[in-house]
Structures are given as structure tokens and as C-alpha cells.
Chain A
Amino acid sequence: MITGVIHARGLSRTFRKKRGKQSAEVRAVAGVDLDVEAGEIVGFLGPNGAGKTTTMRMLTTLLAPTAGTATVAGCDLLTDPVGVRRRIGYVSQAGSTAPENRAGEELVSHARLYGVSTAEATTRGKELFAELDLDGLWERQPKAMSGGQRRRLDIAMGLVHVPGLVFLDEPTTGLDPQARANLWGHIEALRRDRGTTVFLTTHYLDEADALCDRVLVIDKGTIVASGTPDALKSSVGGDLLTVTAASAGESAGIADRMAGLPGAEAPQVDGDRVTCRVPAGGSALVALLRDLDAAGIEVAGVESRRPSLDDVFLTVTGRSLRDGEHPAEPAPAEEALP
């Protein structure tokens, strides 16, 4: 058996889209290779329409690939889809329960489809409800639950047959910040307490950063970067130092001293603001302040900022992740004014 729980090569999916009388081929996913090891939390990061959900739907047997091969949870995706289904959990964006039915009944009924007995499903379901802070909601109708509770119920539905690998499609989309942070805690607990491997898609940078051991950045159907969030951010070229001079006349002196920092790139001066990328922002900042103090140059403010995953996306695609699926727009008019 292959040790990784997901092993995909050249996974592709082409759709035919009709525009009027003509039909065009759209390559939603174009040759994705990916490997996920047991016990990892791996995030698939990209804007809407990048191919995240299509890839996940292929890996969960909901969509047949037009090319490529994959092994998921030890079973071949193309020749043994039922084996894959038996071993994975899937939590879609759309939900998983009828709004009028009782939460507990839905959970037990779902577990029965995996051959779990009613008694066993009830025991496991109640344990999951306790783990996911859904105590007392067994008889509740999903329509009477909060958004966060419904998402946790969906996760319980995806876990009731105790899969070793769970797919979460945009797990926190539409949740308020508190419910998101709470759900992150639960996802981390899945791995910590159950050893579950988690593969999730997200278009939230902070989510990928806070939750994932590894991030795969996808754009236009291809993986454009992958690594730990820290490694990806370091690949951008270090931390961004910003020093605001007490007066614009001091900027040149600040830039001179910044340029002398170990490994620094050429500083940029913009009025009283001087910026520069350095390998380690924290220690560089301390050295720079000491240097400026000794030279008698006064500063009004300092900042060292680590690159974000958005900077990573910008570096590899030339676009900001926040631009969504649209190409970068021309600069706003006010920037053209003096």
C-alpha cells in the first residue's frame, strides 16, 4: 500500500461550456500532482474558480477526472471508487442535512449507509456531538441551529463512520469570526485526538496560515506553489521593514543605513517612508534603531511585517488573492493624481 493517504498524478478535468451555438472546452483542473501524508492538515488555497472544489470533487469520487490517476485512502480512485467512499469523510459547502429533520436522526441515518449499526451510530454520534460542542442539540432541527452549529453538524456527519481522511470544502465560509476560530479549534482537535488526516479548501489566507501544516496554492487549475506557510512566506524574500522618518529630510539617511543591514534589498523611499526587505525583520530592526540613534536620526515609527500568503500568491501569479478570479484591475484614478 502507498503510505501517503492521497497520491494524485496529472489529475485533470475539462468541462464543455456552451456559449450560444458554440461550445468551448474549459480546463477547470489541468494536471494536478499532489501528495498528502497521514496525519497532515493540508490546505488548498486559491481564489474562487481556481479549481479547488473541482479537484476535491474528483478526489471524493463525485466527479470523474478526464485525465490522471489517484490513490485515495489506499484505494484506486478510478477502479475502486466504492472503496474510496468507504474510507473517506466529505463535508461539502452545501451542507448535508434536511432542514426539517432532527439532527440526531440524520446522523444515525447517514452512518447506516456505511453499515454502522443504529446502536453504534447513536453512541458515536453522541460522542461527536459532545466533541463538537453540540450537546443538547440531538433532537434539534438543523433549520433551528446557528450557522456555526450547522457546520459542526455537517462535520459530525462526515465523521460518524470514523474515516481516516476527511475532506472539508471551504469549512468556514459564511461564518462569523468567532465561529470560524471555534471551528479551527475543532479541526485541529480532529488530528490531535483522532489522528485524522484533513484536506481542506479555502480562499481565506488566515485560515490556511493558522490551520494548515502545508499549503498548496492553486490558480487557473494548476498548483503554482506548495510548502509550509512559513516556507512559502520566506520564499517571497524576507520581512518588510518600514521606517517613518520624523521629517522627510531624514529619509535619505535612513535609507543609507537600511541598505547596510545584512542581506537587505535596495530600500525604497516614498516621502517620509522608507521600506526594504530583509531576511530577519526583528533582529534587523533592533540593529537599525541602534544605528539610527547613534547617528542622531529621529524616527516617528517603525514596523516589521512578515510576508503574508497573499504576498506569496502575488509573487507566483502576479495577482492578489483578494482580486478573486478577476485579473488585476488598473490602478484607481486617484493614484494618478499628483
Chain B
Amino acid sequence: MSTLVRDTGTVFRRALRTSLRNPAWLVISLLQPVLYIVLFGPLLEPIAGQLGGANAYQVFVPGILVQLGLFGTAFVGFSLIAEYRAGVIESQRVSPAPRAALLLGRVLRDVLVLAVQGVVLVLVAVPFGLDASVGGVALTIVLVAVLGGSLAAVSYALALTLKSEDAFAPLLNVVLFPVLLLSGILLPMTLAPGWLQTVSDLVPFKHVVDGARALFAGDFGAPDVGWGVLFTVLFAGLGAWYGTSQFRKESG
């Protein structure tokens, strides 16, 4: 166990250093959600009542946080393909480090980056009029960070399987775009017609978004919070299992 912790730490520090060497990426991935807050958020202010909340940002910011979690981490596999090409993955796989450490170290870096970006995003929304439960915001950031970490693990595993940017990019777009639309990230699905609501109920991320909205409103006991947490935990387990199995697998 101690080697797992030690080697996860080593891989984490190295991954973080690599990210900090290229800060442009961290800024670019934060830019899109910030632009949503600044340029799209004001459009929602007049219709706050229809959105189901007194404060438009209380409804909008949780969605944008989940979006950051989805898009910020789903693409991390690209960096792994670059590392694979540079021989880094193979040279680490020949070391005695536990395979889980090679994955977890990288995922932890992504979780940390995501949490910092989430805090920045919330702080940007405050001057625009965000009014939310502080505890709820903190819990949402934790939830999004865990969800993002699971997605990062899946992204790494897919990248290791495909080993090609040309195959990886279309796959992500095909999966993520419908998920984005059906999760009610930009507008709550309660505005949707019946059939669309039914379809979106099948998308687990929608429940995370609804759970995050309830947390922002301070409604900790809402069923959506329970579903959101449950789904996030399940997804984390799946991500850890799938990711580690791919790192353990031989690369033929």
C-alpha cells in the first residue's frame, strides 16, 4: 500500500509539473465556462423565475460547473497519447510502480486542476449576482471534482486503447455533445417537453446537475442530491476499475 501512495505521489507531482509548464492549457479550458458566465448568464436574469429559482446564477452556475467537469477532463487522454508517443508510458510501465499509481497520479492532478478551476468559476460568478449556500457550493465542487476524476480515468483508458488522436477526438464529440444537451447544463430540463424529459432522465449526468442545483439552493435533503452523489460514486468506481485495467493490460 505504501508503494501505491508513494508512487501515486511521484506520478502526481510529475504530472502537475508538466501541466504548470504549459499553463496556457489550464487557462484555455477555464475560458469557455467563464465566457458562459459573463456572456450567457445575463440573458437568464430576466427569466430566473421560469428557471425555478429566485437567482438565475444559482441555477446556471452548477450546470456550468458540471460542464467544466465533463469537458475539462474528458480530453485529458490527449496528453496521454502524447506521453505514449514520447515513450513515457512504456518507461513507467517497465518500472515496479503499481499500475494503479500510474493512473491515480495523473487523475489526482486532473482533480486538483478541476477543483481550482471550479473555485475560480464560482468567484467570477459572485460579482454577477450569484447567491448560493456556501456549504452547497463547496459540496458541489467536491462532487464535480470526483466526477471529473472518474471521467479523466475513462479518458486515459480510452486513449491507451485507441492510441490515436484521430480516433479519440470524434469519439469524444459523439459522446459528449448529446450528454451536454441532455443533462440540462445550460437550461434545466424542467423546461423541456415530456418526451425530452424522459430521454434526459436516462442520462445520469442530468441527475448530477440537478443535485448540484439543489445543493446551491441549500436543499441538502433533495432526492436529486442523493442520486447525484450515488451516480458520481458509481462512476468513480467504474473509472478506477476501467482505467487501472487498461494500464495493467499489455500493449501489443
Which A residues lie at the B interface, using CB under 8 A? 15, 60-64, 82, 85-86, 88, 90, 92-101, 105-106, 109-110, 112-115, 154, 157-158
In the complex, besides A95-B87, A100-B18, 14 extra interface pairs with C-beta distance below 8 angstroms are A60-B94, A61-B94, A63-B252, A85-B94, A90-B90, A92-B87, A94-B87, A96-B87, A97-B88, A100-B21, A101-B14, A109-B14, A115-B3, A115-B96
Provide the bound-state CA to CA distance between A67 and B13, in Å. Answer: 39
- Measured CB to CB, the nearest residue on chain A to B92 is A113
Asked if B22 and A100 make an inter-chain contact with CB atoms under 8 angstroms apart, the answer reads yes
Specify which of A82, A96, A98 lies most central, judged by the most chain B CB atoms within 10 Å of its CB: A98
Chain B residues closer than 8 Å to A85, beta-carbon distance: 94-96
Asked if B96 and A114 make an inter-chain contact with CB atoms under 8 angstroms apart, the answer reads yes
Which B residues lie at the A interface, using CB under 8 A? 3, 6-7, 10-11, 13-14, 17-18, 21-22, 82-83, 85-88, 90-97, 250-252
Name the contact of B94 in the complex, choosing from A15, A88, A99, A109 (C-beta under 8 A): A88
Asked if A97 and B96 make an inter-chain contact with CB atoms under 8 angstroms apart, the answer reads no
Chain A nearest CB: distance from B137 CB in Å? Answer: 34
Q: What's the count of A-B pairs with C-beta under 8 Å? A: 81
Name the contact of A110 in the complex, choosing from B21, B90, B91 (C-beta under 8 A): B91
- Measured CB to CB, the nearest residue on chain B to A106 is B14
What are 5 A-B contacts defined by CB distance under 8 Å? A62-B90, A62-B93, A90-B94, A105-B14, A113-B10
Provide the bound-state CA to CA distance between A189 and B173, in Å. Answer: 52
Asked if A98 and B88 make an inter-chain contact with CB atoms under 8 angstroms apart, the answer reads yes
Provide the bound-state CA to CA distance between A92 and B94, in Å. Answer: 10
Q: At the interface, is chain B mostly helix, strand, loop or mixed?
A: helix
Provide the bound-state CA to CA distance between A26 and B93, in Å. Answer: 25
Chain B residues closer than 8 Å to A101, beta-carbon distance: 14, 17-18, 21
Chain B residues closer than 8 Å to A60, beta-carbon distance: 94
Asked if B94 and A98 make an inter-chain contact with CB atoms under 8 angstroms apart, the answer reads no
Provide the bound-state CA to CA distance between A210 and B3, in Å. Answer: 41
Contacts A62-B250, A63-B252, A113-B10 known; A95 to B86 CB distance under 8 Å? yes
Chain A nearest CB: distance from B244 CB in Å? Answer: 15
Provide the bound-state CA to CA distance between A157 and B96, in Å. Answer: 14
- Measured CB to CB, the nearest residue on chain A to B93 is A62
Asked if A99 and B87 make an inter-chain contact with CB atoms under 8 angstroms apart, the answer reads no
- Measured CB to CB, the nearest residue on chain B to A61 is B94
Chain A residues closer than 8 Å to B82, beta-carbon distance: 98
Chain B residues closer than 8 Å to A110, beta-carbon distance: 91-92, 95
Chain B residues closer than 8 Å to A63, beta-carbon distance: 250-252
Chain B residues closer than 8 Å to A115, beta-carbon distance: 3, 6, 96
Provide the bound-state CA to CA distance between A337 and B119, in Å. Answer: 81
Chain B residues closer than 8 Å to A112, beta-carbon distance: 6-7, 10
Asked if B97 and A113 make an inter-chain contact with CB atoms under 8 angstroms apart, the answer reads yes
Name the contact of B96 in the complex, choosing from A15, A62, A82 (C-beta under 8 A): A82
Chain B residues closer than 8 Å to A99, beta-carbon distance: 86
Asked if B96 and A113 make an inter-chain contact with CB atoms under 8 angstroms apart, the answer reads yes
Provide the bound-state CA to CA distance between A142 and B251, in Å. Answer: 25
Asked if A86 and B96 make an inter-chain contact with CB atoms under 8 angstroms apart, the answer reads yes
Chain B nearest CB: distance from A213 CB in Å? Answer: 24
Chain B nearest CB: distance from A139 CB in Å? Answer: 13
Chain B residues closer than 8 Å to A15, beta-carbon distance: 252
Chain A residues closer than 8 Å to B7, beta-carbon distance: 112-113
Provide the bound-state CA to CA distance between A114 and B250, in Å. Answer: 20
Chain A nearest CB: distance from B16 CB in Å? Answer: 11
Chain A residues closer than 8 Å to B21, beta-carbon distance: 100-101
Chain A nearest CB: distance from B105 CB in Å? Answer: 10
Chain B residues closer than 8 Å to A98, beta-carbon distance: 18, 82-83, 86, 88
Provide the bound-state CA to CA distance between A304 and B94, in Å. Answer: 47
Chain B residues closer than 8 Å to A62, beta-carbon distance: 90, 93-94, 250-251
Provide the bound-state CA to CA distance between A97 and B87, in Å. Answer: 7
